[in-house]
Amino acid sequence: MKIDITLTSGLDSIARDAAAAEQAGYGGIWTFEGAHDPFLPLLLAAEHTEHVELGTSIAVAFARNPLLLATIGWDLQAYSRGRFVLGLGTQIRAHITRRYSMPWSKPADRMRDMVLAIRAIWEAWSAGGRLDHQGPFYQHTLMPPLFMPNPAEVEGFGPPPVYLSAVGPLMTKVAGEVGDGLMTHPFCSSRFLREATLPALAAGAQSAGKSVNDIVVHHSVMLAIGDTEEAVGAARAAIRKQMAFYGSTPAYLPILELHDRGELGPRLREMSKQGEWDRMAELIDDEFLDAVAVTVTDPAEAAAELHGRFDGVVGRLGFNTPYQPNRELLVGLLHAL
C-alpha cells in the first residue's frame, strides 16, 4: 500500500512542501481543483522532487475538453519523467453548467467517451497514426504534424495513467472499464468500499476483459489528528462539518443509506439551502463519524486501525484533513504504516 498526501500549498510554497513530503517518505503528492488550478502546482512539485508520484485528485474533467487534458497530461508526464497521474472527476451538474458554463449530460457515458478520446489522442501522438475518435460526445479527427509532440518526450514510460473519481455504481463501473485507477471519496467508509465500490469496479473491469486487480484503488481517509484532547476535538468538529456538507449532496445518499442514515440526506440538503452549516454538523453522530474517519493520537494504534480497515481494499491511501493538522503526527503515522 502506498501512502500519499494532498497538498493545498500555494504556488509560493508548493516547491518547499513537495520536497518535504518526498523527504518524509510519501509515495504520492496530490492536488485538487478548488479555488486554484490543480495542474500548475504539480509543475513546480515536479521540478523540486525526483521520485514521488504527482497527481490531480481531482481535476474537473467536464470543465475542459479531451485535447486540452491530453496536452496537459502529456506535458506533465514528460517533465516529471513518468511520475504524473491524470486524476479526473465530473463535479455536479450545477457547477458544470452554471460555474463553468459547459455542457452536461449522461455523466458516466460522457466520462467514458472523454477518457477514450484522450487515449486516442495519446495513441496518435505516440504512434504517429491518424487521429480518428468519433464518440457520442467528443469527436477528434484533425491532428496535423505541426501540433503533435515528439513521442521521445515520454519514451520509456508512455502517457500518464488515468484515474477516475466515483461514488455511484455507474461511474465506478466506468472507472473499472476505461480507467487505470479509481479515486474514492473521503466520505466513503471502508464498509461502503467493500460492499458497494469493489463489486461495481469489478463489473466494469470484467466488461473490458480486465481484472479488478488491474485497477488501483486510491482512498483519501479523513483523519482527526492531534496530540491534545482539545486538538482532537477541534479536528473531529471540522470533520463533522465536512461530513454534513457531503451528506447534503444527493450523490452521496447511498453512503448514508448503507449506514442506516438515509433520512439525513433530505434534512441536510434543506438546511444547506438555508445556510445552517453549523447546525448541520450537529446531525453527524459519533458512531457515523468513527465509521468514516479515524482518530489519531497514537500513530502506531492508528496505523493498526487503518490496516484493519483498508488492507485488501485499497492500493493507495491518502490523508484527508479538512483543517491544519499536526504535521509531525502525520509523518509519524506515515512511518508507522
Express each pLDDT in 130-176 by its tens digit: 999 999 999 999 999 999 999 999 999 999 999 999 999 999 999 99
Which bin fits 128, alpha (ψ -120 to 50), beta or left (φ > 0)? left
Q: DSSP H helical segments within 149-222, as ranges?
A: 169-178, 190-192, 198-207
Q: Which residue has the higher pLDDT, 263 or 324?
A: 263
Whether pTM > 0.75 for this model: the answer is: yes
pLDDT tens column, 218-255: 999 999 999 999 999 999 999 999 999 999 999 899 99
Which residues are CB-contacts of 6 (< 8 A; sequence separation ≥ 6)? 29, 30, 31, 32, 57, 220, 318, 319, 320
Could you tell me whether strands 181-183 and 53-56 are parallel, antiparallel, or unpaired per DSSP bridges?
unpaired
Domains along the sequence of the chain with CATH: 2-229+295-336 (3.20.20.30)
| Residue 9 pLDDT exceeds 90 | no
pLDDT value at position 99?
Answer: 94
What residues are paired with 320 via a beta bridge?
222
pLDDT tens column, 278-331: 899 999 999 999 999 999 999 999 999 999 999 999 999 999 988 888 888 999
d(CA 147, CA 163): 26
Q: What string of DSSP letters covers 111-152?
A: HHHHHHHHHHHHHHHHH-----EE-SS-EE----GGGPPPGG
Amino acid at 288: F
The residue-averaged pLDDT of 12-34 equals: 95
pLDDT tens column, 192-213: 999 999 999 999 999 999 999 9
Residue 92 pLDDT grade (very low, low, confident, very high; cuts 50, 70, 90): confident
Candidates 320, 141, 294, 145; CA nearest to 218 is: 320
d(CA 297, CA 29): 24
Which residues are CB-contacts of 321 (< 8 A; sequence separation ≥ 6)? 222, 223, 225, 235, 330
d(CA 85, CA 162): 6
